[in-house]
């Protein structure tokens, strides 16, 4: 997150010359006028500028607002010496170099969730189109063909809808599908049962859901774990005749596998708004008669674009005018001096959260964060709980989860964050304890910071073990008996996985091993295969692959 010396100026602290806001992409007129309404502010709203021209215009700008057309890279940011905030009118920030912005003390904000209803409505529209063959019937009419008997449809009423991913958009779909009289089930191992129950949604494992539903709509983030989640093997386990809707990410579906599933009749029809490559290089899937295809327009409604634009403009205005930070993706809302002092501990909390989150799939019920030693008296220490929550949720959710919005994201998923302080003496000057409460049991890890800024894992499940915290790690729980370490090392060597550090802790007939490894970026599957083989060793109770920043 860089040095984070960012500080918003209040009205009384502003320079005696006007603030300048550059809007580089098209925004609704209402968003532009919201900024122009501020006395003395200069708003330069012009789209389509060449990179060099935009860089020149940013030389004296305080704020930059973009959508997806403009790329905000390190080179552009280096030309903007006065820039304090970049607003992205949308959810994703893929076109913004957030790390470069953070290093320069520039706040990056977005508009999360502003287009949820539009995407949900488009998913419902696609379901109705599949049920009644609307595009094909319309095409026949335009060709002057009256084919009434051909287009016998079916009702959504009484059908079972499966929702893969019960986040904001998935919940909106559930509410609308209930009005159609559908039975609604969902797979989301990280949503609280109480939220699903309130929505009238039954939670179930993915395989069971796929084998049960008539319609399946995808609302999952694109992560390494969800890439090609729907492949030949998954489709083979689906209920024959299933209808698939994808308005989330093209990477979720192996398009070749989907074509084969349609050809075999496993998938009766599909409605796709997103594709692996956009626009597609291979149009054969979109051109199948069983497929309804739209060009990534689920979020493209007047209302969504209006809301996204005005929300982003208001966020930028409130920061520049009043110093209020909202919807930030790279900055916590505490005093910069305190933030700077806590930087290493913030990173520690994030990584500890990421570690427990990756120790197996389970439904998270609560996150416990306990501070020991000098941390108990630190001001602003509650930012560590937000950082831990961000670490927990990042492997689960799509990009955009940050130290600022992690508490909100946790609350939306029914996850309680419980903070506590202990004066009990431990072996370290300060210690951070993270406990994840899940429906599969508790996961408990502890860490500390060795000077200067060395993050260390010091306990796993109450077993003392000291290891560097970061990069790729293999964590093993095993019976404390001879030969286990050697067998683990042999398996890793056979898969050409290099061990950078090996730490072992023992307690009560059991042991915990933490293996830091050098992972080949081009072949991450090597470690996954090795871990699978390690899990089959009789003395190994559990083994997890954890990937941290």
249 has catalytic annotation: yes
- Contact at 8 Å (CB) between 240 and 267? no
How far, in Å, CA of 173 to CA of 130, rounded? Answer: 16
SS3 (DSSP) at 152: coil
How far, in Å, CA of 259 to CA of 284, rounded? Answer: 9
- Contact at 8 Å (CB) between 24 and 89? no
Among the listed residues 132, 296, 407, 426, the single catalytic one is: 296
How far, in Å, CA of 186 to CA of 163, rounded? Answer: 5
Among the listed residues 278, 303, 377, 442, the single catalytic one is: 278
Place of tokens 């084919």: 147
C-alpha separations of 267 from 22, 245, 259, 263, 315 in Å: 48, 11, 9, 8, 44
SS3 (DSSP) at 240: coil
278 has catalytic annotation: yes
Torsion-angle region of 331 (φ positive above 0: left; ψ -120 to 50: alpha; else: beta):
beta
13 has catalytic annotation: no
**Positive/negative CA dihedral, 114, 120, 126, 132:** negative
- Whose CA is closest to 473, among 530, 537, 539, 392? 530
C-alpha separations of 542 from 14, 391, 476, 510, 545 in Å: 57, 22, 6, 11, 10
How far, in Å, CA of 319 to CA of 340, rounded? Answer: 20
The DSSP code sequence of 265-321 is: TSEEEEEES--SSSS-S--TTTTSTTEEE--S-TT--HHHHHHHHHHHHHHHHHHHH
Among the listed residues 67, 168, 249, 495, the single catalytic one is: 249
- Contact at 8 Å (CB) between 268 and 242? yes
Catalytic (active-site) positions: 249, 278, 296
């Amino acid at each position: 997150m860089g040095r984070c010396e960012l500080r918003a100026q209040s009205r009384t602290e502003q320079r005696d010359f006007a603030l300048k806001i550059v809007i580089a992409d098209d925004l609704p007129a209402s968003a532009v006028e919201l900024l122009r309404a501020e006395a003395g502010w200069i708003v330069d709203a012009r789209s389509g500028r060449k990179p060099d021209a935009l860089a020149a215009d940013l030389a004296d700008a305080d704020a930059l607002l973009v959508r997806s057309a403009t790329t905000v890279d390190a080179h552009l940011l280096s030309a903007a010496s006065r820039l304090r905030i970049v607003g992205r009118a949308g959810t994703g920030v893929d076109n913004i170099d957030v790390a470069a912005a953070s290093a320069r003390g520039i706040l990056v904000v977005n508009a999360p969730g502003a287009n949820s209803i539009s995407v949900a409505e488009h998913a419902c529209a696609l379901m109705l189109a599949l049920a009644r063959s609307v595009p094909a019937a319309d095409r026949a009419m335009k060709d002057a063909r009256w084919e009434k008997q051909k287009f016998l449809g079916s009702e959504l009423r009484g059908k079972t809808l499966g929702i893969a991913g019960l986040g904001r958009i998935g919940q909106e779909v559930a509410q609308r599908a209930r009005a159609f009289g559908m039975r609604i089930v969902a797979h989301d191992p990280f949503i609280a049962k109480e939220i699903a129950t309130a929505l009238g949604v039954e939670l179930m494992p993915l395989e069971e859901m796929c084998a049960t539903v008539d319609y399946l709509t995808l609302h999952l983030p694109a992560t390494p774990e969800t890439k090609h989640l729907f492949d030949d093997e998954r489709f083979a386990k689906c209920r024959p005749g299933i209808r698939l809707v994808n308005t989330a990410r093209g990477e979720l579906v192996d398009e070749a596998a989907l074509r084969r599933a349609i050809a075999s009749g496993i998938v009766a029809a599909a409605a796709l708004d997103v594709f692996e490559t956009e626009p597609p290089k291979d149009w054969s899937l979109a051109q199948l008669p069983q497929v309804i295809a739209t060009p990534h327009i689920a979020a493209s409604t007047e209302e969504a674009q209006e809301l996204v634009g005005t929300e982003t403009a208001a966020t930028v205005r409130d920061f520049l005018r009043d110093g209020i930070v909202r919807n930030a993706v790279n900055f916590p809302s505490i005093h910069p001096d305190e933030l700077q002092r806590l930087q290493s501990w913030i990173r520690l909390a994030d990584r500890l959260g990421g570690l427990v989150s990756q120790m197996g799939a389970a439904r998270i019920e609560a996150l416990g964060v306990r501070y020991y030693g000098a941390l108990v008296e630190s001001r602003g220490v509650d930012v560590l709980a937000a950082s831990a929550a961000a670490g927990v949720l990042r492997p689960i959710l799509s990009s955009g989860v940050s130290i600022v919005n992690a508490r909100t994201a946790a609350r939306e998923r029914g996850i309680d964050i419980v903070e506590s302080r202990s004066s009990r003496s431990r072996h370290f000057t300060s210690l951070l304890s993270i406990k994840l409460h899940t429906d599969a049991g508790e996961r408990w890890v502890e860490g500390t910071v060795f000077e200067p800024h060395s993050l260390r894992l010091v306990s796993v499940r109450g077993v003392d073990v000291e290891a560097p915290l970061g990069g790729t790690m293999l964590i093993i729980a095993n019976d404390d008996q001879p030969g286990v370490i050697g067998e683990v090392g042999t398996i890793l060597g056979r898969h050409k996985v290099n061990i950078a550090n090996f730490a072992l802790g023992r307690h009560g007939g059991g042991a915990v091993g933490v293996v830091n490894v050098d992972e080949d970026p081009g072949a991450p599957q090597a470690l996954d295969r090795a871990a699978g083989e390690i899990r089959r060793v009789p003395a190994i109770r559990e083994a997890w692959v954890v990937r941290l920043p």
